[in-house]
Amino acid sequence: MAATLPKLGSSLAVPCVQEIAKKPLTRVPQRYVRPDQENPFVSNNNSVLQVPVVDMQRLLSADFMDSELDKFHQACKEWGFFQLKLDWGDMFYLTTLPIHLRKPHLFPKLPLSFSKKSGNENSEPDEVSIGLSPHSNSIGLTILLQINKMEGLQIKKDRMWVPIKPLSNAFVVNIEDNLEMVMNGIYPSIEHRAR
């Protein structure tokens, strides 16, 4: 007699992002609205809280290395996040809006919705839409290159959500759970979210 396995649950049927992107959207689909989450719009541009910036050139300079290492240590210890400013010139530049400036022929394998010359440029995200719920990462270190000026990444600092203002030529560096353990809690893994 064959044993029957218990049903452990199932996933919600969710259309893939490519299918959603085929239709012009004027509102965020209801299934992605998260009224149970804190308001993602927390800080204005005049916020006193700013994620620290560490300058790679100063880290490599004999004159500024000690002060920049101290800044690096404080950023890791107090924030768990920082932006690493680099002095480099490599760039991948892709115009998405306004639509008439797109050049899809340069990238023939782009999704169809990007290649089209139509769409709603004025679609704004709903105030309760959240891209990623608050979480911390479990590995060691994340290095992120933000490719636009949108303040979508937010970190929790002193019980407030602080947006990371993307800098040109900078990586966002995130201390994660395992590194926090290795450092005996000196460098914390910080709760963050994305909208």
- Please state the domain extents for the chain: 48-91+128-194
DSSP letters for 51-108: --EEEHHHHT-TTTHHHHHHHHHHHHHHTSEEEEE-----------SSGGG--GGGST
CATH number belonging to the domain at 48-91+128-194, selected among 3.20.20.210, 3.40.50.720, 2.60.120.330, 1.10.3720.10: 2.60.120.330
**Sheet of strand 192-194, all strands in order from the earlier edge strand to the far edge:** 132-135, 192-194, 153-157, 160-163
Half-sphere exposure of 1 (CA within 13 A, CB side): 2
pTM, 2 dp = 0.58
Quote the pLDDT of residue 94. Answer: 63
Per-residue pLDDT at 123 = 45
CA–CA dist 195, 178 (Å, integer): 25
pLDDT at 9: 65
Query: DSSP 3-state assignment of 17?
Result: helix
Closest CA to 172 of 138, 191, 195, 147: 147
User: Block means of pLDDT (10 residues each) for the chain, length 195 residues?
Assistant: 68 71 76 68 63 92 95 95 80 65 68 53 50 85 83 88 89 92 93 87
pLDDT of residue 67: 95
Map residue 143 onto helix, strand or coil: strand
Per-position b or e across 103-119, b if 16+ CB within 10 A of its CB: eeeeeeeeeebeeeeeb
